[in-house]
């Protein structure tokens, strides 16, 4: 199948007789179109909206963007970043993602087009996964399954088309490398996540007996501070647990009950003892308690699956390399942001973008370093 594809690809190139950089231009334009699609994915996928229907429209006035105004790069510049109908500003992120994807596609072709044209085209798909994962993780602290699990499936396909992704000459060896990549990528990061949860996954707050804690729309208020909910709830499993000695509701009262609040779950849940409530209805809850447990974690299960994606594409060595590089970069950048006051200590950083950057570093030089060091 790969040989057939390679035949088709090379025959087509020579048939058309186009110079190498004609294709650089083609892939730049292709990149801008893919980038335009990634913008839709980045905006809609985390919200659970369809990425194909309806077509592009202004989120403010619902104006359906006609095809002639839906051209990558050009349209945003032509309209100077505003909706044609209602003049609502359109985020420069749209232009940025289109330009970034276009430049990366062109650079990939220039770098690998001569020696590994099929691998270069497979890498277009990997970069697309990385760009979508990065922007979604920054905005929502999740990486959707469509990207991670879908990415594993794409990775197996790419492995068959371009065993060079695994630095292997034949498909069977490359497939084995992909299998180990999924297993070790998944297993190692899963272990790290579990260990992390055990070591610093939860923040346990102790209070003097009889302290009043208040859950309200703004967050959790303790005598010392108010912790906004957006700093607590990122993932469906994030749960605040309060061991209450007394909870007062307008119509009843609980003694010695556990209060569990999970606002990022679908649907959001509030449990007091054995009873469930709709958190949207209970706006204000006073709890007498001596202990509260808040979720805090560096990595989530999305990162575990994302690591399996990287392994499927690049082999098990790449997963260890990416994890180490990402942890180092995350620590350095996280501490620098705290130092220059752009970020509070202990606040959340998305980890997916660092893993993606680690995988890129693997492709660009990590592999040869690994060969020299361990090979
Ligand atoms: Zn509009």
According to DSSP, residue 89 is labeled: B
Q: What is the 63 CA–ligand 1 centroid distance (Å)?
A: 5
pLDDT per residue over 102-111, tens digit each? Answer: 999 999 999 9
Q: What is the 79 CA–ligand 1 centroid distance (Å)?
A: 12
Place of tokens 């390399």: 321
Distance CA 310, CA 318 (A): 7
Q: What is the 70 CA–ligand 1 centroid distance (Å)?
A: 14
DSSP 281-346: T--EEEEEEEEEEEE--S--HHHHHHHHHHHHHH-HHHHHHHHHHHHHHHHHHHHHHHHTTSS-TT
Q: What is the 189 CA–ligand 1 centroid distance (Å)?
A: 43
Distance CA 342, CA 334 (A): 10
Confidence of residue 226 (pLDDT cuts 50, 70, 90): confident
pLDDT value at residue 175: 96
What are the sequence ranges of the domains in the chain? 1-115, 143-159+169-201+300-369, 202-295
Percent of the chain surpassing pLDDT 70 = 90
* Nearest-5° Cα angle at 45, 180 to 236: 75
Could you tell me the sign of the dihedral formed by the alpha carbons of 200, 327, 143, 218, in that order? positive
Q: What is the 230 CA–ligand 1 centroid distance (Å)?
A: 29
Q: What is the 311 CA–ligand 1 centroid distance (Å)?
A: 42
For the cut 70, the answer to whether the pLDDT of residue 10 exceeds it is no
Q: What is the 223 CA–ligand 1 centroid distance (Å)?
A: 45
Contact 131, 99 (CB under 8 A): no
Phi-psi region of 55 (alpha: psi -120 to 50; beta: other; left: phi over 0): beta
Q: Which two three-digit tokens encode residue 370?
A: 């690994």
pLDDT value at residue 15: 41
Q: What is the 28 CA–ligand 1 centroid distance (Å)?
A: 28
Neighbours of 156 (CB within 10 A): 17
For the cut 80, the answer to whether the pLDDT of residue 299 exceeds it is no
Q: What is the 94 CA–ligand 1 centroid distance (Å)?
A: 15
Q: What is the 84 CA–ligand 1 centroid distance (Å)?
A: 7
Residue 66: exposed, middle, or buried by beta-carbon count in 10 A (0-12, 13-18, 19+)? exposed
Contact 102, 95 (CB under 8 A): no
Q: What is the 55 CA–ligand 1 centroid distance (Å)?
A: 14
pLDDT per residue over 155-168, tens digit each? Answer: 999 999 999 999 99
What are the Cα distances from residue 116, in Å, to 108, 143, 194, 222, 252?
A: 10, 30, 39, 59, 70
Distance CA 198, CA 60 (A): 44
Main-chain dihedrals φ then ψ at residue 355, nearest 5 degrees: -65, -40
Contact 280, 330 (CB under 8 A): no
- Which is higher by pLDDT, 223 or 120? 120
Q: Which two three-digit tokens encode residue 278?
A: 């709709």
For the cut 60, the answer to whether the pLDDT of residue 14 exceeds it is no
What are the Cα distances from residue 225, in Å, to 199, 213, 228, 260?
A: 24, 10, 10, 20
- Bridge partners for 216 per DSSP: 219, 284
Contact 368, 332 (CB under 8 A): no
Q: What is the 82 CA–ligand 1 centroid distance (Å)?
A: 8
Residues 6+ apart with CB under 8 A from 320: 184, 188
Q: Which two three-digit tokens encode residue 211?
A: 């302290």
Question: Ion ligand 1 — residues with CB under 5 Å?
Answer: 58, 60-61, 63, 83, 85-86, 88
Q: What is the 86 CA–ligand 1 centroid distance (Å)?
A: 4
Distance CA 122, CA 114 (A): 14
Provide the 3-class DSSP secondary structure of residue 219. strand
- Which is higher by pLDDT, 245 or 339? 245
Q: What is the 89 CA–ligand 1 centroid distance (Å)?
A: 8
Provide the 3-class DSSP secondary structure of residue 208. strand
The arithmetic mean of pLDDT across residues 168-195, rounded, is 89
Q: What is the 123 CA–ligand 1 centroid distance (Å)?
A: 35
Q: Which two three-digit tokens encode residue 109?
A: 């072709």
pLDDT per residue over 98-138, tens digit each? Answer: 999 999 999 999 999 988 999 999 999 999 999 999 999 88
Q: What is the 345 CA–ligand 1 centroid distance (Å)?
A: 39
Nearest CA among 352, 351, 355, 362 for reference residue 314? 362
- Bridge partners for 240 per DSSP: 261
For the cut 70, the answer to whether the pLDDT of residue 1 exceeds it is no
pLDDT per residue over 300-321, tens digit each? Answer: 678 889 999 999 999 999 999 9
Q: What is the 194 CA–ligand 1 centroid distance (Å)?
A: 46
For the cut 90, the answer to whether the pLDDT of residue 95 exceeds it is yes
Q: What is the 139 CA–ligand 1 centroid distance (Å)?
A: 22
Contact 171, 163 (CB under 8 A): yes
Provide the 3-class DSSP secondary structure of residue 160. helix
Q: What is the 76 CA–ligand 1 centroid distance (Å)?
A: 13
Sheet-wide strand order for 275-277: 226-228, 219-221, 202-216, 284-295, 240-248, 253-262, 269-272, 275-277
């Amino acid at each position: 199948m790969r040989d057939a594809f390679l035949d088709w690809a090379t025959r087509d190139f020579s048939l058309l007789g186009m110079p190498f950089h004609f294709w650089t231009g083609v892939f730049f334009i292709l990149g801008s179109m893919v980038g335009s699609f990634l913008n839709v994915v980045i905006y809609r996928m985390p919200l659970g909206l369809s990425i194909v229907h309806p077509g592009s429209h202004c989120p403010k006035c619902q104006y359906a963007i006609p095809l002639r105004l839906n051209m990558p790069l050009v349209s945003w510049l032509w309209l100077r970043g505003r909706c044609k109908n209602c003049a609502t500003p359109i985020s420069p992120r749209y232009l940025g993602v289109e330009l970034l994807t276009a430049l990366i596609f062109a650079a990939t072709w220039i770098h690998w087009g001569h020696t590994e044209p099929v691998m270069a085209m497979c890498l277009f798909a990997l970069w697309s996964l990385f760009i979508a994962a990065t922007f979604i993780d920054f905005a929502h602290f999740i990486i959707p399954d469509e990207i991670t699990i879908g990415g594993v499936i794409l990775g197996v396909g790419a492995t068959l088309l371009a065993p060079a992704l695994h630095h292997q000459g034949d498909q069977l060896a490359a497939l084995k490398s992909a299998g180990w990549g999924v297993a070790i990528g998944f297993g190692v990061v899963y272990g790290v996540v579990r260990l992390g949860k055990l070591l610093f996954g939860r923040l346990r707050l102790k209070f003097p007996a009889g302290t009043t804690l208040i859950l309200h729309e703004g967050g959790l208020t303790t005598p010392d501070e108010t912790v906004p909910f957006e700093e607590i709830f990122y993932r469906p499993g994030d749960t605040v647990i309060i061991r209450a000695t007394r909870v007062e509701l307008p119509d009843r009262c609980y003694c010695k009950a556990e209060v569990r609040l999970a606002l990022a779950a679908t649907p959001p849940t509030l449990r007091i003892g054995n009873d469930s409530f709709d958190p949207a209805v209970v706006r204000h809850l006073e709890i007498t308690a001596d202990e509260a447990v808040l979720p805090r974690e560096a990595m989530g299960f999305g990162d575990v699956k994302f690591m399996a994606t990287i392994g499927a594409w690049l082999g098990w060595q790449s997963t260890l390399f990416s994890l180490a590089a990402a942890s180092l970069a995350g620590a350095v950048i996280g501490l620098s942001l705290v130092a220059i006051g752009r970020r509070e200590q202990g606040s959340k950083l998305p980890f997916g973008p660092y893993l993606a950057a680690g995988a890129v570093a693997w492709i660009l030089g990590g592999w040869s370093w690994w060969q020299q060091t361990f090979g």
